[in-house]
Amino acid sequence: MIEGFETLAIHAGQAPDPRTGAVVPPIYAVSTYKQDGVGGLREGYEYSRSANPTRTALEECVAALEGGTRGLAFASGLAAEDAVLRALCRPGDHVIIPGDAYGGTWRLFDKVYEGWGLHYDPVPLGDLDAVRAAVRPDTRIIWVETPTNPLLGIADIEALAAIAHAAGAVLVVDNTFATPYLQQPLALGADVVVHSTTKYAGGHSDVVGGALVARDKEIGDRLAYHQNAMGAVAGPFDAWLTLRGLKTLAVRMDRHCDNAERVVDLLLSHPRVTEVYYPGLAGHPGHEVAAKQMRRFGGMVSFRVAGGEEEAVAICDRTKIFILGESLGGVESLIEHPGRMTHASVAGSALEVPGDLVRLSVGIESVSDLLADLGQALGG
Ligand SMILES: *Cc1c(COP(=O)(O)O)cnc(C)c1O
């Protein structure tokens, strides 16, 4: 009986190829499958939008890692989110989203789904009373991110699941930042986990993808139906790259956390840094909840600087190892200015982020090099 996380990451859904013994699932670059007589499908494979063996391997692996009954792989994280909303909501329904939701998630709700009659309210999910007050009779989903992007806010998954279920709603958790290695939302009561596998799951900044994992069969079947009916599936090469990334997820996450902790120490001691956002800090408002539901605190760190927006932008231009770029979760360290980059689309909305904020995705390079690079970029 296999149940260790690292073992599942390497073996779940990935039995050696029955024909050749290849120890890695082949890339099945194929659209259709020979039938042994009309309707005589081999292992259910008929057409690759419906199912493809390389994608099946990835889907079984993510389902095992999240402890769900069904995993589904999509062309992007946003395609996965779109499938959840269309499978579970109807026009007139209401969704609660995090007060500092990922910008693309907010844009999907605000600019796309409002036009189709799905309404949303951004609520600070760390405040359970605010969530209870925002729940309406037509609330269909409470949509959770924890930690959030870019302010690393923490939400109590177990408490939110209780609120959602009491209201007859579904709890969806975007587990992109934590990954199943650090946090297991389904075990805490969530119904669906969403991933941008573009980030830590893939882990090498070489593929865009998304995934869903359902706790129960009924929701899993509905999501699978929509995956096929809507068609935004992961291609076989993308599925293969993501699966290769997943094999090392645990060791990468531990190093991301090690390095992030050292970066946090440097930032805390720097005179020009005015605030550091990291859920591992005892003074972080969500620290206790994070310590309860996360194994460690992840590789994302945000901070504010004394010199305001111009200084924050200048720091982003001065780093040499931290690459200036959007996205996160790859082996290489990235730096960005959320206000002008990832979160530019939420300017002027309730989700606007401070101009003096810098976000780091701390990679797995030698930590001494990362600390030296940040030190020179921050200046004396
Ligand atoms: C990147 C991201 C997404 C969107 O995923 P894509 O793969 O870019 O479509 C959703 N949620 C979070 C938290 C993300 O970081």
Which domains, ranges and CATH numbers included, belong to the chain? 5-247 (3.40.640.10), 250-378 (3.90.1150.10)
Q: Which of 198, 210, 194 is nearest to 55 (CA)?
A: 210
Over its length of 380 residues, how does the chain's per-residue pLDDT go in tens digits?
568 999 999 999 999 998 999 999 999 999 999 999 999 999 999 999 999 999 999 999 999 999 999 999 999 999 999 999 999 999 999 999 999 888 899 999 999 999 999 999 999 999 999 999 999 999 999 999 999 989 999 999 999 999 999 999 999 999 999 999 999 999 999 999 999 999 999 999 999 999 999 999 999 999 999 999 999 999 999 999 999 999 999 999 999 999 999 999 999 999 999 999 999 999 999 999 999 999 999 999 999 999 999 999 999 999 999 999 999 999 999 999 999 998 887 788 777 889 999 999 999 999 999 999 999 999 96
Three-class SS of residue 122? Answer: strand
Rounded to the nearest whole angstrom, what is the distance from the C-alpha of residue 145 to the centroid of ligand 1?
11
The verdict on whether 82 is a catalytic residue reads no
- pLDDT number for residue 335: 98
Rounded to the nearest whole angstrom, what is the distance from the C-alpha of residue 280 to the centroid of ligand 1?
23
- pLDDT number for residue 161: 98
The verdict on whether 244 is a catalytic residue reads no
Tell me the residue length of the chain.
380
Distance between CA atoms of residues 255 and 258, nearest Å: 5
Q: Whose structure tokens read 């779109």?
A: 82
The verdict on whether 199 is a catalytic residue reads yes
- Per the residue annotation, which of 199, 215, 255, 359 is the catalytic one? 199
- Largest separation between any pair of C-alpha atoms in the chain: 75
- pLDDT number for residue 277: 98
Rounded to the nearest whole angstrom, what is the distance from the C-alpha of residue 77 to the centroid of ligand 1?
5
- pLDDT number for residue 351: 75
- Residue minimizing CA distance to atom 14 of ligand 1: 196
- Per the residue annotation, which of 100, 174, 191, 238 is the catalytic one? 174
Mutate which of 194, 196, 206 for ligand 1 pocket (most atoms within 8 A of beta carbon):
196
The verdict on whether 17 is a catalytic residue reads no
